[in-house]
Amino acid sequence: MPKRRRLETGVEWVEISTTAADWKKADPRLLATMLGQLQLIRTFEERVLELAGEGLVHGPAHSSIGQEGGAVGSIVALRSSDAVNGSHRGHHQFLAKALTHVAPDGLNPSALVTPRIQEVLQKTLAEILGLAQGYCRGRGGSMHLQWFEAGALGTNAIVGGGAPMATGNAWAQKRSGTDDLTINYFGDGAAQIGSVLESMNLAAAWKLPVAFFVENNLYAVATHIEEAVADTRLSVRGQGFGIPSWRVDGMDPLAVHLAMEEAAAHLRAGSGPVVIEAEVYRFFHQNGPYPGSAFGYRTKEEEEAWKKRDPLLTVASEMQKLGLIDEDGVEQVRQQAIAAMDAATAELLEADPAKEGRRRIRPDLWPDPAFVNIGVRGDGSELDALTALEPTADTRPRKDLKFVDAVAGVMERRMGQDERIIVLGEDVHRLKGGTNGATKGLSTAFPDRTLGTPISENAFAGLGGGLALDGRYRPVVEFMYPDFMWVAADQVFNQIGKARHMFGGENPVPLVLRTKVAMGSGYGSQHLMDPAGIFATSPGWRIVAPSCAEDYVGLMNAALALQDPVLVIEHVDLYGEKDTVIDGDMDYIIPPGKAAVRRGGSEVTVISYLSMVKHSLEAIEQTGVDAELIDLRWLDRASLDWDTIEKSVKKTNAVLIVEQGAVGTSYGGWLADEIQRRLFDWLDQPVQRVTGAESSPSISKVLERAAIARTEEVVAGLETVRRHAGGAR
C-alpha cells in the first residue's frame, strides 16, 4: 500500500461576508459614495437600454444591471493611478473608475451630480452611441471604453483578452517603483480561457500587483456555469498558481470592498497577484432589454430571487437602518441621477423630423467619415529628430562582423542609451543569447531588463502590449518562431495591432516584435513560416525585413523609436553570414519609405526582402537578365517606398515579386494587386511572382526544399518574365 500525504497549496483561499457590525463600522462617506455610484450607474444603464430599445445604440448593449456591486465595491477606494480593465460587459467598471477619479473625496447624496460627473455621464453615453465627443471619439462604443487619465485602460470585446494587458500594466507599475495596482475584470466564461490562466501564472511567477477579478454571474450567454466547469467556485483557479484568493457575495458592495481592502494590502506590499471572485447576477439577457427568462434559459423565480438581493437596494436599506438616509433621501438620489441622464441625453438627441414621436441622434455629433483611417498607426514624426542615413551611400570605413552579432549589438547599444527598453521572450536570457545568439550579452549587461518568460506567447505578448500602452517602457518581445503568432493571435492582432485606432487614434503603442524565418533548418510545418503576408494584411503593424547587417542597425533603431508596433523579421540564413557595419556608428535610422536599389537594370523590376535579396542577385547573374533589384526593407502598407517602385516599373514595364514562403500566406499577393492597380498603364505583362509551394515546409530535407523558394525558383521566374516580354514584342 503506497503512502499518501495530503498536499496543500500554501496560499489562502477565503470567503468573506459582512455582518451588521461591519455595516455599522463602515465610514458613512464610503456608504454614501457607494449609494451614489450604484444609482448613477444603474440609471445610466437603464437609459442605455431605453435607447437600445429605440434602435439608437448601434451594436450590442451589454447591460451591467445587477452586477454593479462588484465594480463599485472594488473600485471605490482606488487611486486614479491604480488601473482597471474589463470585458465587453464593462460600463459599470468604467463608470465606477471614472466617477472615483473625478470625485476622489466621495459623493454627496444631497448634491450628487457635479459638472465633472455630468461630463463623465455624457461622454460615456456619447461613446456608446458612437459619437465624436466620446472618450474614444466614437470608435470604441459600448465594448471598448478607455480613459487613461482615470486609470481605465480599456474594456475588451474578446473574452479574457484584457488579462495579459493588465498584467503588463502591473509590471510597469512595479518596475516604476510605485505601489499602484491593476484590476482585470472578467466573467465566468473567461475563467477557463488560456490568456487568463497564462496571465495568472506569469503574474504569480513575477509577483506582479494585478488582481484577477472574476464576476461570476453564473451564465456565459445562456450556458450555466455547472455545464462548463467541475468546480463552480471559480476562485479555486488561484490555488493552481499559488495565488491567494477571496470569494465574496458580489451583491453586497461592502463585502466586496472589505475583500478588496485585504487584497489591495497584499498587492501594494509587493506580494504578488490575487484572485477575487464575486458572485453576481445580470438582471437582463446577455445583450439588450429583456430578461434571460424571455429566452427560456432562466426561470422567473430565479430572477426574482436575485433581484431581492439587488446591490443598490442592499446599500440603501443598510444606510436607512443606520439612520444615514431616509426613504425620501434615497428617492432624491435616484431623481438626481435621472435628471443627469436626461440632461446628457438631451445634449445628444433631438426629435426625428421624419418620424413623428421618435428621436434621433443629432447629425452634427457623428464622427467625420474622413476620420475612418486616422490613427491606424502614427505619422512617424517622432523619427524627425533622429539621424537618417542611407548605408549604400555612406563611404565611412566598415567593420566586419556576423549578421547576428549586429542584431545583438544594436540592441545592446539601444538598451544602454534608453532605460525604457525591456526585452522579453523564451530563453532570451539563457544559452548565450537565446537559441541563435540574437540577444547575446543583454542579460549580462541588463539583467533586470532581459526577461526570460514562461512558454506562454499569449501572456507575454499581451504583457508587452500592456507595457507599451502604459507608456513608461518600450518592450521588445521575441517569438522564437513566427508560427507561434497563432498561439498569441488575439494579443498580436486584436489587441496590440488595433489598440491605437480602436481607442480613438491617439494612444501610442511602442512595441517591437522580433521573430525569425527558419526555412531550410528542418524544423517542419509549425516552425518555418514567413509572417510578412499575415501582418501586412492586418491593421496597425509596421514591418521591417532587413537583408544585411547595416540595414538591420538602421531599421531596428527606427523600430525602437516609432510609437507604433513594429514586426522585425530576421532570417536564420543571414545570422551566420559574414557581413559589415559602419564602424563606430550604431545610432542612425533607416526611416519608413526608404527601399534600397541593390542593382540597376532595365528589363524587369525584381522586388524582394530578407535572404531572397541574395538569391535574387544570384539568379540575375545566372540568367543575364538586366533586372533592377529593389530590397523593400519596409513592408507594411504605410511604409512602402512607392517612389522607388514606381520609378523602376515605369522604366522596366515588368515586375517579379520574390519571396520564399508559402503561396497561401504570401506577402506578394497583396503587393501584386496594389502594383497592378497603381501602375497598370506601365505594365507590359502581369505581375509575376516567385513563392514557395502551397504546403508548409516538411521535416524531410527533400520535401522542405520543394516547399520553399531559393535561387533556382527565381531563375525560373526571370525566365518567365523574359518569355512574356518576347511574346509582347
Active site residues: 527
DSSP of 13-62, one letter per residue? EEEE---HHHHHHS-HHHHHHHHHHHHHHHHHHHHHHHHHHTT-S-S---
Return the SS3 of 631. Answer: strand
Cell numbers at 370, concatenated: 474622413
For residue 617, what are the CA distances in angstroms to 597, 623, 631, 641? 12, 10, 11, 20
Q: Which of 590, 210, 178, 176 is nearest to 420 (CA)?
A: 176
Tell me how far apart the alpha carbons of residues 283 and 94 are, in angstroms, rounded to a whole number. Answer: 19
Biggest CA–CA distance in the chain, Å, is 98
Q: How far apart are CA 245 and CA 231, in angstroms?
A: 15
* Residue 19 φ/ψ, nearest 5 degrees: -120, 170
Measure the CA–CA gap between 557 and 98, rounded to whole angstroms.
38
Burial, 601: exposed, middle or buried (Cβ in 10 Å; 0-12, 13-18, 19+)? middle
Give 493's DSSP letter.
I
The count of C-alpha atoms lying within 13 angstroms of the C-alpha of 111, restricted to the half-sphere facing its C-beta, is 4
Residue 317 CB contacts under 8 Å (≥ 6 apart), including other chains = none
3-state secondary structure of 478: strand
Q: What is the DSSP-derived secondary structure letter of residue 111?
A: G
**Alpha helical stretches, state H, 54-176:** 68-75, 91-102, 115-128, 162-175
With b for 16 or more beta-carbon neighbours within 10 A and e for fewer, the 371-386 pattern comes to: eeeebbbbebeebeee
Beta carbons of 473 and 456 less than 8 angstroms apart: no
Which residues are registered as beta bridge partners of 421? 474
Helix (H) or strand (E) holding 598: strand 596-599
Rounded CA separation 249/256 (Å): 7
Are 639 and 542 a contacting pair, CB within 8 Å?
yes
**Residue indicated by cell numbers 434621433:** 360
